[in-house]
Amino acid sequence: MKKLVSAFSLSLIAIIALTVSCDERTAENGGDVSQVDVDSSKSTIVNVSGKLFSIPSPIQTASLIDRENTPYRIDALADYNLADNIPERNMKALNLGMLGIDMVYSSFYDDAQNSLKYYKAVDKLAVDLELKSAIDQELIKRVGSNVDNADSLIYLSSSFYQALDAYLKENDRSEIATLVLTGAWVESTMLTAISESKPAKEALAAQKKASATLYKLIAKIELGNNDFSEQLDSLNTSFANIEKEYQYVTPEVIPDQKKTIIKSESSYKLSDSLYTDIQMRLIKLHRIING
Amino acid sequence: MAKNYLHLVLISVVLNCFFALHARAQCDSTAAIASKYMGENFVSDGQSYRALIFDDQIAEFTTTLYGKSTYRVVGIGGLEKEQLHFNIYDEDDNLLFSNADYQNSAYWDFEINSTLDCRIEAKLDLMKQKSGCAVLLIGFEQ
Instruction: Check residue A198 and give its pLDDT.
Output: 78
What is the Cα–Cα distance from A112 to A114, expressed in whole angstroms?
A: 5
Closest CA to A212 of A196, A232, A197: A232
pLDDT digit string, tens, across residues B12-47: 666 555 555 566 677 889 999 999 999 889 999 999
Backbone angles phi, psi at A116, to 5 degrees: -65, -35
Contact B91 A246 (CB under 8 A): yes
B17 in contact with chain A, both atoms CB, cutoff 8 A: no
Q: What mean pLDDT comes out for the span A177-185?
A: 94
A90 contacts A179 by C-beta, under 8 angstroms? yes
In degrees rounded to 5, what are phi and psi of residue B135? -125, 130
A141-150, A239-248, B120-129: which has the highest mean pLDDT?
A239-248
Q: How far is CA B44 from CA A150, A154, B34, B80, in A?
A: 15, 9, 12, 21
Query: Averaged over B91-101, what is the pLDDT?
Result: 97
Q: What is the pLDDT of residue A58?
A: 94
Q: Report CB contact under 8 Å: B44, A46.
A: no
Which pLDDT value is given to residue B25?
75
Prediction ipTM score: 0.87
Q: Do B12 and A263 touch (CB under 8 A)?
A: no
Q: Is the pLDDT at A272 greater than 80, yes or no?
A: yes
For residue B109, pLDDT over 90 is answered with: yes
Q: Do B117 and A166 touch (CB under 8 A)?
A: no
- Which one, of B100, B96, B139, lies nearest residue B123 by Cα? B100
Question: Which of left, alpha, beta for B65 (phi over 0: left; psi -120 to 50: alpha)?
Answer: beta
Interface of B with A in 120-139 (CB under 8 A): 120-121, 123, 138
Mean pLDDT over A53-67 rounds to 90
CB of B21 closer than 8 Å to CB of B84: no
Which pairing describes strands B58-65 and B49-54: parallel, antiparallel, or unpaired? unpaired
